Structure 1
């Protein structure tokens, strides 16, 4: 959308500035610094975040009983695995960063790709970032307000501090963000192990009363199942995160599918065992009334060491927020590189080799969503929008089986899997609307389609007055952040 780059840099003579700019531009690109361990940490660390500590209540409230609740958690894991396998084929076939964006571009052209980037950069990704940081703030502040809910102002200030810190880390260094992700992933696995082992011990001791007649009192409706799946799949969301950083992944043909195959089953096992552990100490009614499920579990089982639960849950949510920020910033970067967003979003820091403008833009938008946040409402509408694009992207995989037979496919999933995933996506999008229509779903659709009002004048036609506005902004950003255009990696 925006054009232009600086022709002078501080400390550079006028005659040399253009050649230095040219040299920097021709060699600057994101480096392949993400190995298999970090890839698995990104998947596990991004998925296991706030969801397993927030969603159990919402899944239970939409199913009404322990039995169907556990089935929903297992089904969500299978859906996540099948979706990840479809994205593994896409990611090894089109080795460009940006997740769904380059796949939609290749399968359907620029308009669906732009609508995805428009919706994701402005709403879907930053609202997810805000939800995770708000969850971190709730758990981090819980020990200081025993017996009552922390003040809203405290939660929002802590969430804002988390957004700022994580954004800064991801601007400074890819390696620093990777090390932080690995550390936080280990920390969150520690609390998962503590909860799971405690649950197993309690079951051995005979605490199984909540699993008898586990389907009694269930309230199953098509829309209720859809909303339960929304909340369960929110906890699993992140199975496609590696597709956002394909250009930075070492040996993507091997590490992308391998990280998925190793990471997703681990997450699924953790989620099922954690939910079982919750029900060893809480009845369904008690779980629904708990302000923070994991904290209630810790207070009943781990006292006097219950303080560990909110601490490690805070680490867990921070790890998810860091993984989300690390990957989502690349979408802004790729969209800017393709001319679908402001051009400076595709620029890379000369010193840090990070997409600094894209990361800062993402953090700024995420900060805005902290202000009015209602977590459950955000999750429902986030899921509605994101599964619309998941379904469209996987439909693109089916289309390209016929239209792009020339593309190399190191991984080819059976055609039945993407067809099933498209049908699941259609159900997830339509069932809650049919069961309980709300204006907010219509507003979400209107916002997505409103991107066309931006696309045609600013991207397709490229009106001149817009370029006159964005050109000086781009030049100022380059001078301020010391960033230059990136050379597009060849896929």
Structure 2
């Protein structure tokens, strides 16, 4: 009776009762607002990549700024129209787990398990690991430390564990940091865009000793720039994992899935065009990543590089926080559907923290495992020039393709009546996914083939587990 009383009081104060089994209550606490969901999408998509991808994109386009702008727009189609398509699914199911819930509701329990295992045991942790490592790299740069692999990995591990602690000990603290880090990282990106709009000075001279690269006509070679542009947009599906903890999710999640990607596109274009207006495309492609530091010096003087590194580090830590915020809930989402071993224990939510502690432990163990794998691959160079996160990114977009097809099927069944939502948006989302997948394989066909096989193994394991579980239950 006491357990029931506490559960009832918690529901009245915070949220709704999700389910009850054997006297254990599972509760979805309505913690996050539209603002948090939107900043989660923006915060995860905008990491450190945009600061150092401008020169790569310009190099592929031969220094053509117009083509570079088109690259960013095409890359954005994959998330803007893809996310708009998924709003049609999000309002037609209350299943937990984000995209896992969509596969469960619109395909099958086995497909949900396959995709859920891929996301839980590979996609989320590998991204969290690599981004934490990147935070270690930029910390070394910021404080002038020897940038050795061991020091990078040690600092990165510290960041990883710190943000796990923040999100486990206080659900709200993780949400607050997501908002703060997102707003902070937008300052230099939008600021540079605005400065570029009013910039009238000539581009700086290319430093002595730097080989001058001429602007060229690259023909169709500019399509290769889609790969780095697409990767800089990745991460938006992670926000779907907190759908059941968002206030008024049927209204707020579709809005977040539209507003977030549009904000990312505007910010990226502002920074890209502003940087080109201030430095000029030839300076950028000639100096490469050093162009960012030159920009910091021009705008902020002697401390410019340090100031810019601080913003970059905050941007990276915002990604770490956002990914972990989503990953902590994935094992519990699978357990609530019986799609993971020891589901009865993992699905139980701590009423005080509104989080399953066994789920959090699974998340931590997965990340530590992949952190060790990442360290070995970097130490030996067996995945150079890539890293373990590349295993998941391209494969994920191939999976999203299936959801876009389902949206179009719902339109044909007249469940969706809006032509834009049922046909135009999913078609453009599918086009974006195809471009990303092809771009990934064209960039490194051997590695991508190996990565796809590894991803398929995780999906197969999840599918077989659900199949065995269903057979045993029957």
Residue 14 (structure 2) aligns with: none
Judge conservation of contact 1:96–1:246 (CA < 8 Å) in 2: no
Q: 1:33 is paired with a residue of what secondary structure? A: coil
Distance change (3 Å), C-alpha of 1:292 and 1:120:
farther
Q: 1:183 to 1:457 in 2, by over 3 A?
A: closer
In structure 2, distance between residues paired with 1:319 and 1:34: 16
Query: Of the candidates 60, 63, 66, which is equivalent to residue 61 of structure 2?
Result: 63
Please report how far the alpha carbon of residue 216 of structure 1 lies from its aligned counterpart in structure 2 after TM superposition.
4.1
Shift of 1:289: 4.7
C-alpha distance in 2 between matches for 1:409 and 1:337: 32
Q: Which residue is 1:185 aligned to?
A: 182
Q: 1:412 to 1:288 in 2, by over 3 A?
A: same
Distance 1:452 1:390, change over 3 A: closer
TM-fit CA distance, 1:330: 2.5
Q: Which runs of 5 or more residues in structure 2 are unaligned? A: 1-19, 207-212, 379-383
Match of 1:325 in 2: 324
> Equivalent residue of 1:29, what SS?
strand
What CA deviation, in whole Å up to 9, does each residue of 1:49-80 have, x standing for no partner? 22312433443344332422222112222332
Q: 1:452, 1:353 → 2: CA distance?
A: 29
What SS class does the counterpart of residue 349 from structure 2 fall into?
A: strand
Deviation digits for residues 341-360 of structure 1, max 9, x if unmatched?
23244332243111333333
Other-structure match for 2:429: 421
| Map of 2:468 onto structure 1 | 461
Instruction: Assess if the C-alpha contact under 8 Å between 1:138 and 1:150 holds in 2.
Output: yes
Please list the CA deviations of residues 233-285 of structure 1 after superposition, one character each: whole Å capped at 9, or x if unmatched: 22222333432211111111221222234333222111111122333226456
Contact 1:87/1:240 (<8 A) preserved: no
Q: Give the aligned partner of residue 473 of structure 1.
A: none
Deviation at 1:190, TM superposition (A): 2.3
**What's the offset of the Cα at 1:145?**
2.7
Correspondence for 2:148: 151
Q: Label 1:462 to 1:37 Cα distance change in 2 as closer, same or farther (>3 A).
A: closer
- Summarize the alignment of residues 4-403 of structure 1 with structure 2, pairs less than 5 Å apart: 25-67=23-65, 68-145=67-144, 150-201=147-198, 203-207=199-203, 216-221=215-220, 225=223, 227-279=224-276, 280-281=278-279, 283-284=281-282, 286-287=284-285, 289-291=287-289, 294-306=292-304, 307-342=306-341, 343=343, 344-367=345-368, 368-369=370-371, 370-371=374-375, 372-373=377-378, 376-378=386-388, 380-402=390-412
**Residue 303 to residue 90, structure 1, CA distance change in 2 (3 Å):** same
- 8 A Cα contact 1:87 1:243, kept in partner: no
C-alpha deviations, 1:314-353, integer Å up to 9, x for none? 1111112111211233232212221222324433224311
Give, in whole Å, the separation in 2 of the partners of 1:123 and 1:60: 32
How far is the alpha carbon of 1:96 from its aligned partner? 2.8
The separation in 1 between residues aligned to 2:364 and 2:417, in whole angstroms, is 35
Does the CA-based 8 Å contact 2:95-2:105 persist in structure 1? no
| Aligned residue pairs, count | 435
* TM-score normalised according to structure 2 size: 0.80
In 2, Cα distance between equivalents of 1:66 and 1:209: 19
**Are 1:173 and 1:353, in contact at CA under 8 Å, matched by a contact in 2?**
no
What residue ranges of structure 1 are gaps of 5+ in the alignment? Answer: 1-21, 468-491
Distance 1:176 1:252 in 2: 20
User: Is the contact made by 1:30 and 1:248 (CA closer than 8 Å) also made in structure 2?
Assistant: yes
Secondary structure in 1 matching 2:28: coil
Distance 1:358 1:401, change over 3 A: farther
Distance 1:62 1:112 in 2: 38
CA positional deviation for 1:423:
3.4
Question: How far off is 1:137 after superposition?
Answer: 2.1
Q: CA deviation at 1:418?
A: 0.7
Q: Which structure has the higher relative contact order (CA within 8 Å, separation 6+)?
A: 1
Partner of 1:483: none
TM-score by length of 1: 0.78
1:340–1:459 CA contact under 8 A, matched in 2: yes
